[in-house]
């Protein structure tokens, strides 16, 4: 079960939102709409540049490069993303 600070935990699958008007604009366009697996939790960090307080929890997600860019590549891609950009993928 996820901690009070994090809504996701390692091993959870999460889809990156296509749009997030309230969220961090640094989320790369190429990863939006893609699904990855949470591999690390980094907690919350202060946001000193725009004075909005504390960022949502930060995660590292693992993606298959073939799923992100197409082709038959076997490489993996790690991307750090804030929780407000992520939706849990429920298996079923």
Q: Which pair of structure tokens corresponds to residue 21?
A: 């008007």
Name the CATH code of domain 13-88 (choices 1.20.272.10, 2.30.30.50, 3.40.50.720, 1.10.150.20). 2.30.30.50
Question: Which stretches of the chain score pLDDT less than 50?
Answer: none
pLDDT of amino acid 46: 77
Angle at 78 between CA 92 and CA 29, to 5 degrees: 85
pLDDT of amino acid 76: 96
Q: Decide: 35 and 67 in contact? Cβ < 8 Å.
A: yes
How do the domains of the chain map onto residue ranges?
A: 13-88
Distance CA 81, CA 29 (A): 12
pLDDT of amino acid 26: 76
Of the candidates 52, 55, 53, 67, the one whose C-alpha atom is nearest the C-alpha of residue 27 is: 55
pLDDT of amino acid 68: 94
Torsion of CA 20, 24, 58, 45, to 10 degrees: -140
Q: pTM of the entire structure?
A: 0.83
pLDDT of amino acid 23: 60
- On the CB side of 4, CA atoms within 13 Å amount to 0
Q: Which pair of structure tokens corresponds to residue 30?
A: 């190429």
């Amino acid at each position: 079960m996820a901690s009070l600070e994090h809504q996701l935990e390692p091993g959870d699958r999460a889809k990156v939102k296509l749009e997030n008007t309230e969220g961090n604009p640094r989320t790369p366009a190429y990863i939006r709409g893609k699904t990855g697996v949470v591999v690390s939790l980094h907690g919350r960090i202060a946001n000193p540049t725009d004075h909005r307080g504390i960022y949502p929890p930060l995660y590292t997600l693992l993606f298959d490069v073939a799923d992100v860019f197409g082709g038959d590549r076997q490489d993996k891609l790690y991307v750090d993303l804030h929780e407000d950009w992520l939706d849990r993928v429920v298996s079923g």
